[in-house]
Amino acid sequence: MSYLRSATATLLCAALISPMPATAAEPVGQAVKIKTEVTGQSGPLVVNSAVHRDERIRTSPSGLGQFVFRDGSKLAVGWGSSVVIDKYIFDDSQTVKQLSIKAAKGTFRWISGSSKSSAYSILTPAGTIGVRGTAFDFYVGPNGTTAIVMLNGAAQLCGPGGCRQLTRRCDCVIATPRGSMTDVRPVNQAVLQSLGTERALPFLSGIQALSGMMGGGCGMTAALQRRPDTRQQQAPRIRAPEPPPPEKPRPGEKPREHVDKPHDHADRPHDPDGPKKSNDHHRDHHDKGRDKADRSEGKDGDRDRGERNRHR
C-alpha cells in the first residue's frame, strides 16, 4: 500500500511541474491596439480583448492589430492578414515551453518575450522561421511567397530549398512554397518590386505605424521617398520642324520673280486659267508699238496739210 501511495504522489507531482498546454478557453494574450477592423474566433476584437490558443485572427484591408502574449512576446498583424495561434505550452506564468503561430497571409512583426528563443517558431507556406533573436518583420503573399527581414538578433528560415541564416540587421531572404530561395541580402526597394507590392512590408516603409514596438525602417522610408517619378523619365515628344520663313529682299535688290514650275503631282492637274506672264508681256509690247505708230502717222498727216496750205 505504501508503494502505491508513493507512486501516486510521484505522478501527481510530475503532472504539476510538467509544462501544460493552454486550453482553448484559456487566454494566452490580449490585444493592445486595434485599428479599423480586426476579428477573432468570436467576432470583432477591441483593445484588451483576450486571444486564445487555436484562435484565428484576421484583419481588414486597412486593419491593424497588436497583441502581447503572457511571456511578453509581441505580434503585430498588419492589413489583409490571417494568422492562427497554433500552439501555446507554458512553463509558468512568465515563460512558455512552446509558442508557434501559423501565418497564412499578410504582414507581421514579431518580438520575442522572456522565454528561450528555441520556444518560438513561425510557420509559413514557404517554410518555418526559427527564432534566434528578438525582432523581425515577415510577409506572406497570396501565393505563399514569404519574405523575412531581420531587425534585431538572428533568425533562420528553412523550407524545401534549404535553410538561410539571417544574422545582421536588415538582412532579407525570400522563399516560395516550391523550394526556391534567394540568398541573404539587405532589404531595399527591389525587394518590394520582386514581391509585387509596396504594401508587403508596411512597418518598415512607415505606411502603417506601430505603438511601442522596437525595430526600425532599414532605410525603406527614404527609399520610397527617393523613388523616381517615371513620368519625368519619359522621352520628350519630338515635333516636326517648322518651315523656314521666306527670305526678304535686301535694300536696293529686286525681289526674285516666282517661276511657275511644272506640277509634280499627277493627281492635281495644273490650273489652265492661271496667269501667263510671257503672253501678257508680248501683248502689252505690241499694243504700245501700235500706239506709237498711230501717233507718228498723225504727225505726218498734219505736216502734209500745212505744206499744201502754204502753196495755196
H or E element at residue 74: strand 74-77
Give, in order, the Cα–Cα distances in Å from 307 to each of 202, 210, 293, 297: 126, 133, 22, 16
Write out the chain's pLDDT in tens, 312 residues. 554 455 444 444 444 444 555 555 789 999 999 999 999 999 999 999 999 999 999 999 999 999 999 999 999 999 999 999 999 998 776 789 999 999 999 999 999 999 998 999 999 999 999 998 789 999 999 999 999 999 999 999 999 989 999 999 999 999 999 999 999 999 999 999 999 998 999 999 889 999 887 656 788 875 555 554 443 434 333 334 455 566 666 666 665 655 555 555 545 555 545 554 445 555 555 555 555 555 555 555 555 555 545 544
> What is the structure's pLDDT at 48?
97
**Is 107 within a domain?**
yes
> What is the structure's pLDDT at 241?
44
**Is 239 within a domain?**
no
Cut 0.95: pTM above it? no
Amino acid in the structure at residue 56: R
> What is the structure's pLDDT at 46?
97
Number of independent structural domains in the chain: 1
**Is 302 within a domain?**
no
> What is the structure's pLDDT at 14?
43
**Is 200 within a domain?**
yes
- Report the distance separating Cα 217 and Cα 202, nearest Å: 10
> What is the structure's pLDDT at 246?
65
**Is 30 within a domain?**
yes
CB-neighbour burial class of residue 96 (10 A; exposed 0-12, middle 13-18, buried 19+): buried
**Residues of the domain holding 155:** 19-224
Task: Tell me the three cell numbers of residue 202.
Answer: 508596411
**Is 208 within a domain?**
yes
**Is 243 within a domain?**
no
**Is 264 within a domain?**
no
Q: What CATH number does residue 123 fall under?
A: 2.60.120.1440
